[in-house]
């Protein structure tokens, strides 16, 4: 057959079909679900960050109006603890136990000891949410407070409070990557060495929709259904059925209704999921639980939280020869489902970014503390890596008196060196870093900054400019490779395409959108590949009963993982149509042409068939050869040969008010390379949201725990999130370097632009204050910290 | 958070509203932008909400005799910010209204609610105090008026409904302005300042009212600063010096900022407000 060149739908900014129902508030979230006979669950979380529980009195709660059940850990003695499935790869690690010998995490309810504020102790199920909430308050817990530790570096010190019997000194793992000897030698021999102590502060994932779960046990069939805000329904089904509940896989269905954002929080197992299922079975009624904002902040995985000592060595003339990072990663009280892997591999292997560095080494002490569990947050690991590297490069440039842009230019990995082994474990697939870097500098007007600085000074403002580059591993990924990284599971993706007799198409994928416009882009990929109108394509996902197995949405993977699965499946459909066409047109297969959704014998387009006519013909299957099966229904499972590595250069321009210390980001240029882009409208939305997310961390966001382990910033009145008015108009550009690792040439896009903004803005602030000798200001860079730096007072500035 | 249970009534007249509010646990519902949040978080309680939005007498902005503006308590923040009479006659008040929250909050939030939300630092009180406005109230004892200074020192009497305010329209020699640095999380003032000033021919301050919120324990008039600046120039240097001369405990830490920084910030905002007022 011949597949003719056709006008591509890919790359077109077609309208996002999900937006209208989302913007009108018409989409159905977990909180909107109403099942007949549904009861409501509330969870009692610990008031103490670390305490022994000497007793729980539930009698008053049980007697309250509408209360159907009060349960504590004793009610779930037969239920397994939640497992952890991404552990630090290749090193000794210590976890709480799981009966299958797997790394364990936490019990569904804590019985003897609580380890963070919010640690679930008891639940109430009542007729209404209000009754359940009221009854939870009537449960009396006899706590015996224990000493508390909230910092990873302190948790591994001798004499620190101990969280888990099976984890000596709270040390989950000491993990390393890179060449320690060579790095240390290069540092010892370096002409210039610069160092920084960095706090990449903990941040709170703040999707618009907090999590929720509805459990429904059908007594007639013995089937369980979980409706949950999940970004990976198949994974949740497997982990819950096999490793927590111990029920047949066939008995559990997981459905994700519309999910209102995730940013890395909704792929995890949380105690509420097994709890609603177990209580539904016990009460023979559907049981619903929906979190509050403050509940989310005390239960849902948080992000970042590394304390680092970082060192860079180089020559006097600007050649970087070594980078070394020692990091203390705070995993929280229990390992989240994938937390330990995020804190080690994603960060450590990424620390040299776009630079061709002779030797690098990273060591991570991953430790448990009395805080909420750590997980991914958009850009996780890679953002921490870019922050340390880009801050180091600026300090190095200042030290040797060379323009920071020139130092970067001198050290970029040359375009001729791909695939490039970064010496830390990643092999960069493709890149043209020079083109990307120069484009960003030109768009930002980097060459003209001196004049702008002088002009701003006349207005009482200090203008600063900061550059940050990055490489962000995405497209997770190759399953075997991920197993080497400590992932206990597969990371492939899937697609099924079913062509209806009318020629309409159903595309079903294993992924599950949490706001990434999957319906639009997956229909666009299928329509492009099949040469049909995208309006005739429906996309289904997020229901384990209907969707082919897949791993969900995370790590900016869906377009570069499910997208190729769709393209490969469409190819199977076209191949089959052409084989049928050969029989119908009575020509050899290689004389059948498929073009723009039409099938015809070469040179005879007039007597060809449309896509819809072929669909109907295959549905009837009249007079077709026996070796061509009826109907058009194909499935592909895609496991890529390796990851993909998007990259980019961001330039931030800030103005600092000399009197108040307020920092305003007045211009922001981002040039990102995500390979071939399917729908620029979707990608631009993700990039703008990602930059805003990064600006939040550098300027205002911080999860603050007091010494007793109480989260001080436990609602949106105390935890600042960036609003539209806080960010400038973003000047976006792109370069396009396709990956060889999938048929679309697509790289990850959803989180990549979260990686560099914190470093770009921090560099810009330090640039604005450089004449004062300021070398670093810890995030979040608040007006008071800058004011103190301006006045040379107190310890805010190093 | 789950909203607690309460009764809801919507009277048509002020008299009915005042009678309903006499019962314990009754609270006034106007824009609901503070009250409903407090009821959800548990920071406030109510057994009955008396919705006053049906009372026509509480609406409208009009000139009242010579040199005064009458502004109904139900005037929304968006209306205040856009009203030509307010913008011309009491620009600091319009600026303070505009500085509130976001468009949705300004479309629902009211003048009266903003002045009554004494549990948090809101934007309008400093503008009302600096403008030397009077606040009209209705309570069990009938109509009552409160001077701006009495409002600044004593707050509102319990059980009273704000019905309107009377603002002296800027006389030729009076100029006002409002400045704010918003708290990043809430957008309430980290610090907000309103000033009203009159200047002598040589540019020195002949009359001065300065009010601050956020940086201090509660909204207040800064008489100590006024006294130091009166009769002299009001450049940034003089204003910051006047703030530094205030008692050390005048400013209080909050929202992650130290008292030292907030005192300095109040000074900077005052200097900027005075500079803008002088240029008007």
pLDDT on residue A792: 87
Q: Residue A615's closest CA among A580, A564, A652? A: A580
- pLDDT one-digit tens code per residue, B8-22: 999 999 999 999 999
- pLDDT one-digit tens code per residue, A93-129: 999 999 999 999 999 999 999 999 999 999 999 999 9
- Residue B231: inside a domain, yes or no? yes
CATH code of the domain in which B101 resides? 3.30.465.10
Q: Do B184 and A659 touch (CB under 8 A)?
A: no
Q: Do B181 and A719 touch (CB under 8 A)?
A: no
* Ranges under pLDDT 50 in chain A: 795-798
This prediction has a pTM of: 0.96
pLDDT on residue A366: 98
- Residue B1: inside a domain, yes or no? no
* Distant-in-sequence, close-in-space partners of A442: CB < 8 Å, separation ≥ 6: none
Structure tokens at B78: 């968006």
* Distant-in-sequence, close-in-space partners of A665: CB < 8 Å, separation ≥ 6: A652, A653, A654, A695, A699, A727, A728, A761, A764
- Residue B2: inside a domain, yes or no? no
Give the residue extent of every domain in chain A. 2-25+492-638, 33-146+208-261+266-297, 302-476+642-791
Q: CA of B257: which chain A residue's CA is closest?
A: A784
- pLDDT one-digit tens code per residue, B111-164: 999 999 877 889 999 999 999 999 999 988 889 999 999 999 999 988 889 999
Alpha carbon of B171: minimum distance to chain A alpha carbons (Å): 31
| A:95-134 residues touching chain B, CB 8 A cutoff | 129-130, 133
Strand, helix or coil at B183? Answer: coil
Strand, helix or coil at A113? Answer: strand
Q: Do B268 and A700 touch (CB under 8 A)?
A: no
Q: Residue A56's closest CA among A143, A117, A133, A119? A: A143
Q: Do B181 and A662 touch (CB under 8 A)?
A: yes
Chain A residues inside the 8 Å CB shell of B102? 723
pLDDT on residue A664: 98
Number of domains in chain B: 3
The minimal CB distance from B2 to the residues A130, A718, A787 is found for A130
Alpha-helical segments (H) within A323-381: 339-341, 347-348
Q: Residue A650's closest CA among A665, A673, A669, A667? A: A669
Residue pair A722/B187 in contact by the 8 Å Cβ criterion: no
* Domain match, B26 and B45 both: yes
The arithmetic mean of pLDDT across residues B47-75, rounded, is 94
Chain B residues inside the 8 Å CB shell of A662? 181
Q: CA of A786: which chain B residue's CA is closest?
A: B261
Instruction: Please report the number of interchain residue pairs, chain A to chain B, with beta-carbon separation below 8 angstroms.
Output: 42
Chain A residues inside the 8 Å CB shell of B6? none
Q: Architecture of A33-146+208-261+266-297 per CATH?
A: Alpha-Beta Complex (3.90)
Strands A592-595 and A2-3: parallel
pLDDT on residue B203: 87
Q: Do A784 and B181 touch (CB under 8 A)?
A: no
* Domain match, B145 and B103 both: yes
Q: CA of A791: which chain B residue's CA is closest?
A: B261
* Domain match, B134 and B118 both: yes
Q: Which residue has the tokens 């002296």?
A: B168
Chain A residues inside the 8 Å CB shell of B258? 784
Asked if B106 reaches chain A (Cβ–Cβ under 8 Å), the answer is no
Sheet of A67-72, strands arranged across: A67-72, A120-126, A39-45, A287-290, A212-218, A223-228, A252-255
Q: Which residue has the tokens 């992924």?
A: A511
Task: Please state whether A159 falls in left (phi above 0), alpha (psi between -120 and 50) or beta.
Answer: left
Chain B residues inside the 8 Å CB shell of A788? 261
| A:652-711 residues touching chain B, CB 8 A cutoff | 659-660, 662, 699-700
Chain A residues inside the 8 Å CB shell of B181? 660, 662, 783
* Domain match, B223 and B237 both: yes
Q: Do B2 and A133 touch (CB under 8 A)?
A: yes
User: What is the C-alpha separation between B191 and A83, in angstroms, rounded?
Assistant: 48
User: What is the C-alpha separation between A737 and A746, in angstroms, rounded?
Assistant: 9
Q: Residue A350's closest CA among A342, A358, A430, A409? A: A342
User: What is the C-alpha separation between A559 and A562, in angstroms, rounded?
Assistant: 6
Q: Which residue has the tokens 């949950």?
A: A228
Residue-range definition of the domain harbouring residue B163:
58-168
Percent of chain B with pLDDT over 90: 80
Chain A residues inside the 8 Å CB shell of B103? none
| A161-164 long-range Cβ contacts below 8 angstroms, 24+ apart | A161/A50, A161/A370, A163/A50, A163/A115, A163/A333, A163/A368, A163/A369, A163/A370, A164/A94, A164/A95, A164/A96, A164/A115, A164/A368
Residue pair B71/B38 in contact by the 8 Å Cβ criterion: no
B33-to-A593, B123, B136 alpha-carbon distances in Å:
65, 13, 21
Chain B residues inside the 8 Å CB shell of A726? 184
Chain A residues inside the 8 Å CB shell of B257? 782-784
| A:726-765 residues touching chain B, CB 8 A cutoff | 726
Count the alpha carbons within 13 Å of A594 in the hemisphere toward its beta carbon. Answer: 26
* Domain match, B178 and B144 both: no
pLDDT on residue B158: 82
What CATH class has A2-25+492-638? alpha beta
The minimal CB distance from B268 to the residues A294, A660, A720 is found for A660
Q: Residues A108, A112, A116, CA angle at the centre, nearest 5°?
A: 65
- Residue B141: inside a domain, yes or no? yes
* Domain match, B101 and B134 both: yes
pLDDT on residue A798: 36
Phi, psi of A626 (to 5 degrees): -60, -30
pLDDT on residue B280: 81
User: What is the C-alpha separation between A79 and A72, in angstroms, rounded?
Assistant: 12
Q: Do B186 and A717 touch (CB under 8 A)?
A: yes
Mean pLDDT, chain B, rounded, equals 93
Alpha carbon of A719: minimum distance to chain B alpha carbons (Å): 6
User: In CATH terms, are A2-25+492-638 and A302-476+642-791 the same topology?
Assistant: yes
Q: Architecture of A302-476+642-791 per CATH?
A: 2-Layer Sandwich (3.30)
Q: How many other C-beta atoms are found inside a 10 Å radius of the C-beta of residue B244?
A: 11
* Domain match, B74 and B34 both: no
Q: Do B261 and A783 touch (CB under 8 A)?
A: yes
Q: Produce one character per residue of B171-192: b if its CB has 16 or more CB atoms within 10 Å, e if not.
A: eeebbbbbbbbbbbbbbbbbbb
Chain A residues inside the 8 Å CB shell of B265? 660, 783
- Residue B136: inside a domain, yes or no? yes
* Domain match, B203 and B134 both: no
Q: Do B258 and A783 touch (CB under 8 A)?
A: no
Strand, helix or coil at A307? Answer: strand
Chain B residues inside the 8 Å CB shell of A293? 1
Asked if B256 reaches chain A (Cβ–Cβ under 8 Å), the answer is yes
* Domain match, B63 and B159 both: yes
CATH code of the domain in which B32 resides? 3.30.43.10
């Amino acid at each position: 057959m011949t597949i003719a060149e056709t006008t591509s739908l890919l790359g077109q900014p077609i309208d996002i079909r999900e937006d209208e129902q989302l913007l009108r508030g018409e989409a159905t979230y977990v909180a909107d679900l109403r099942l007949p006979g549904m009861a409501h669950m509330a969870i009692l979380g610990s008031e103490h960050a670390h305490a022994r529980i000497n007793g729980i009195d539930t009698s008053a709660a049980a007697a309250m109006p509408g209360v159907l059940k009060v349960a504590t850990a004793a009610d779930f003695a037969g239920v397994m603890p939640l497992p952890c499935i991404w552990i630090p790869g290749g090193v000794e690690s210590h976890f709480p136990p799981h009966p299958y010998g797997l790394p364990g995490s936490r019990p569904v309810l804590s019985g003897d000891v609580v380890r963070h504020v919010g640690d679930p102790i008891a639940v109430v199920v009542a007729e209404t949410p209000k009754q359940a909430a009221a009854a939870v308050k009537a449960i009396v817990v006899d706590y015996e407070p224990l000493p508390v530790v909230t910092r990873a570096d302190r948790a591994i010190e001798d004499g620190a409070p101990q969280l888990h019997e099976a984890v000596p000194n709270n040390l989950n793992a000491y993990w390393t990557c890179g060449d320690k000897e060579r790095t240390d030698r290069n540092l010892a021999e370096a002409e210039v060495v610069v160092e920084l102590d960095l706090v990449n502060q903990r941040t709170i994932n703040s999707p618009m929709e907090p999590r929720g779960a509805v459990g429904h046990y059908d007594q007639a069939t013995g089937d369980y259904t979980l409706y949950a805000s999940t970004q990976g329904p198949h994974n949740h089904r497997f982990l819950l059925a096999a490793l927590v509940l111990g029920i047949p896989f066939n008995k559990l269905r997981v459905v994700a209704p519309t999910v209102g954002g995730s940013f890395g929080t909704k792929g995890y197992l949380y105690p509420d999921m097994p709890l609603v299922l177990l209580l539904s079975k016990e009460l023979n009624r559907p049981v619903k639980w929906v979190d509050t904002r403050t509940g989310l902040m005390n239960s849902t995985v948080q992000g970042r939280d590394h304390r680092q000592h970082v060192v860079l060595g180089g020559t006097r003339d600007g050649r970087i020869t070594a980078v070394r990072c020692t990091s203390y990663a705070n995993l929280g009280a229990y390992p989240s489902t994938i937390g330990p892997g995020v804190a080690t591999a994603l960060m450590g292997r990424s620390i040299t970014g776009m630079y061709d560095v002779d030797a690098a080494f990273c060591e991570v002490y991953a430790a448990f503390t009395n805080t909420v569990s750590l997980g991914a947050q958009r850009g996780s690991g890679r953002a921490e890596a870019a922050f340390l590297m880009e801050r180091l490069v600026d300090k190095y440039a200042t030290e040797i008196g060379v323009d920071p842009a020139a130092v970067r230019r001198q050290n970029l990995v040359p375009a001729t060196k791909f695939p490039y082994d970064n010496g830390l474990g990643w092999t960069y697939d493709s890149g043209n870093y020079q083109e990307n870097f120069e484009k960003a500098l030109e768009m930002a007007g980097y060459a003209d900054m001196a004049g702008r600085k002088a002009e701003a000074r006349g207005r009482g403002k200090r203008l600063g400019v900061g550059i940050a580059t990055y490489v962000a591993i995405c497209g997770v990924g190759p399953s075997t490779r991920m197993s080497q990284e400590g992932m206990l599971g597969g990371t492939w993706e899937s697609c099924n395409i079913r062509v209806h007799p009318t020629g309409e198409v159903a595309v079903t994928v294993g992924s599950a959108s949490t706001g990434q416009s999957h319906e639009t882009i997956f229909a666009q990929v299928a329509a492009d590949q099949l040469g049909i109108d995208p309006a005739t394509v429906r996309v289904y996902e997020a229901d384990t009963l209907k969707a082919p197995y897949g791993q969900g949405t995370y790590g900016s993977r869906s377009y570069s993982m499910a997208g190729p699965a769709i393209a490969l499946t469409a190819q199977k459909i076209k191949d089959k149509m052409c084989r049928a066409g050969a029989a119908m047109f009575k020509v050899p297969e290689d004389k059948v042409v498929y073009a723009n959704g039409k099938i015809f014998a070469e040179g005879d387009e007039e007597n060809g068939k449309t896509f819809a006519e072929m669909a109907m013909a295959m549905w009837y299957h009249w007079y077709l050869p026996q070796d061509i099966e009826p109907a058009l229904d194909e499935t592909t499972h895609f496991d890529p040969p390796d990851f993909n590595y998007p990259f980019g250069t961001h330039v931030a321009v800030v103005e600092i008010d000399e009197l108040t210390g307020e920092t305003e980001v007045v211009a922001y240029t981002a040039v990102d390379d995500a390979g071939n882009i399917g729908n620029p409208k979707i990608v631009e939305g993700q990039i703008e949201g990602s930059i805003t997310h990064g600006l939040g961390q550098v300027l205002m966001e911080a999860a603050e725990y007091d010494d007793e382990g109480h989260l001080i910033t436990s609602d949106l009145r105390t935890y600042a999130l960036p609003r539209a008015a806080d960010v400038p108009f973003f000047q976006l550009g792109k370069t396009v370097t396709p990956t060889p690792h999938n048929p679309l040439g697509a790289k990850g896009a959803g989180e990549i632009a979260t990686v560099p903004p914190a470093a770009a803005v921090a560099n810009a602030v330090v640039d604005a204050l450089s004449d004062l000798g300021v070398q670093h200001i810890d995030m979040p860079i608040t007006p008071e910290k800058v004011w103190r730096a301006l006045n040379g007072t107190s310890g805010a500035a190093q | 958070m789950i909203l607690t249970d309460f009764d809801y009534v919507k009277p048509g007249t002020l008299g009915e509203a005042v009678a309903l509010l006499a019962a314990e646990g009754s609270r006034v519902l106007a824009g609901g932008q503070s009250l409903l949040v407090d009821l959800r978080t548990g920071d406030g309680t109510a057994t009955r909400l008396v919705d006053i939005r049906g009372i026509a007498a509480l609406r409208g902005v009009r000139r009242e005799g010579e040199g005064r503006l009458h502004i109904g308590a139900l005037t929304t923040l968006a209306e205040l910010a856009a009203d030509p009479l307010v913008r011309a006659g009491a620009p600091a008040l319009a600026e303070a209204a505009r500085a509130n929250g976001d468009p949705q909050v300004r479309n629902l939030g009211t003048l009266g609610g903003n002045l009554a939300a004494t549990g948090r630092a809101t934007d309008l009180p400093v503008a009302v105090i600096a403008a030397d406005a009077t606040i009209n109230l209705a309570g069990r004892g009938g109509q009552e008026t409160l001077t701006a200074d009495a409002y600044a020192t004593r707050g509102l009497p319990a059980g009273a409904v704000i019905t309107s305010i009377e603002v002296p329209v800027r006389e030729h020699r009076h100029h006002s302005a409002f400045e704010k640095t918003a708290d990043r999380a809430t957008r309430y003032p980290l610090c907000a300042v309103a000033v009203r000033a009159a200047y002598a021919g040589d540019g020195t301050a002949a009359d001065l009212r300065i009010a601050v919120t956020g940086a201090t324990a509660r909204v207040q008039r800064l008489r100590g600063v006024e006294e130091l600046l009166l009769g002299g120039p009001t450049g940034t240097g003089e204003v910051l010096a006047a703030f530094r001369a205030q008692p050390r405990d005048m400013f209080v830490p909050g929202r992650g900022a130290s008292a030292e920084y907030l005192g300095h910030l109040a000074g900077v905002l005052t200097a900027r407000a005075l500079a803008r007022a002088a240029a008007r």
